[in-house]
Structure 1
């Protein structure tokens, strides 16, 4: 269904969705560390399962309001891939969307810290190795390809389960555990837990995610060059 909500309502949806996504990611990471302190593989399984399910639910609930981006990469890709469409995502909405996504990510991390009564400090978990950055490129390119291939092939109703399943799988097949989201990278700086990332690693992660977005967008245009006439009348909306 098309997104026709007023911009303030869309921004509230993006803030809320991104905040809840980070609460799920960070909160389940903290819970996993507490429940399985001696088994990192089990911790990752618990964290990835909660994230995949939580993300799918958030997309279903908030997609009709804002398009359920929850991710600056998705917002930028949506604008770029629909820029020639008169009903596509407006360039003037990119900055507000990104701003509330980043704010929501920080708020969600602080909420998770508060729920589990852990202090809010910068993470010391360094992640910016060469392999991690390659993993982020792959994870982000795949995410863009999944979302916009569904949109351009009139299968938008499948976005929620498909995106949730992809992110859940990418936790395991990418070395970076698939952040694929600059807002998530910024938010997770504020939790020195299983899910955290050191501030010094964030710029490299964001750069890798932008590179992945470009690759993903190129693949979408190569595989699905035409926007379907009726794509806006099916499933999850777009702003």
Structure 2
């Protein structure tokens, strides 16, 4: 598949992912009557479904990374050409911003806006590190035919077990800066999230290597249970 087609898939997939995340957050907030738990549940279900479909649709074209941390890991592993890494990241960031604007347009909101929702502190950063660690580990270790389902299921779970509601994606952080909505993040909070996500991704790579390391099996004992010295 040519690089321009792969970049188009990454940009379009990331845009649709952000439209799902932000749009469902707006809808959930409007319909939940102020019940944050119900709004988060609705946001989670929409994200799980949307992410699964987008991975299935765009995976055969670009790998369906939609995430600079994932692209960096794949480039480090040699599964993405290093020369393609920066174009991938640029396509993902552009797509994330356009996806936020698309969500605003669909809900008759001001298209151009910045989030004022502060998400900061050690607990939030740990949560983002854990969320991204789990995501990357699932991607690296899931059977190929089950990646979409397992990634979507993990993100759905991480919405609830992490204090940050699991962005786990620097492109998602970037796109959500442009939305002063339920799913937004203030620009001042973004650097801490991105750094935590990159650290989580790096740790996942290390753990994957440890889990994949094979040691030589000991020589079988001779019959009778005795070993030669």
TM > 0.5 between the two? yes
DSSP-derived class of the 1:211 partner: helix
Q: Which residue does 2:171 correspond to in 1?
A: 183
Q: Which residue does 1:222 correspond to in 2?
A: 210
- Any unmatched runs of 5+ in structure 1? 227-239
Residue 125 (structure 1) shift: 0.4
Residue 225 (structure 1) shift: 4.1
Is 2:35 aligned against 1:53?
no
**Higher relative contact order structure (alpha carbons within 8 Å, sequence separation ≥ 6):** 1
Q: Which residue does 2:184 correspond to in 1?
A: 196
Q: Which residue does 2:159 correspond to in 1?
A: 171
Residue 92 (structure 1) shift: 0.5
Is 2:84 aligned against 1:93?
yes
TM-score by length of structure 1 reads 0.87
Equivalent residues of 1:144, 1:216 under 8 A apart: yes
Equivalent residues of 1:149, 1:224 under 8 A apart: no
Is 2:146 aligned against 1:158?
yes
Deviations 1:200-231 (A, max 9, x none): 000110000011011111111111248xxxxx
2:70 to 70, 74, 94: 74
DSSP-derived class of the 1:190 partner: coil
Is 2:145 aligned against 1:149?
no
2:117 to 113, 122, 125: 125
- Any unmatched runs of 5+ in structure 2? 215-229
Q: Which one is further off, 120-129 or 175-184? A: 120-129
**Which aligned segments of 4 or more residues in structure 1 are displaced greater than 6 angstroms?**
none
Which of the pair has more CA radius of gyration?
Answer: 2
TM-score by length of structure 2 reads 0.91
RMSD: 0.9
Q: How many residues align?
A: 213
Q: Which residue does 2:38 correspond to in 1?
A: 42
Is 2:10 aligned against 1:6?
no
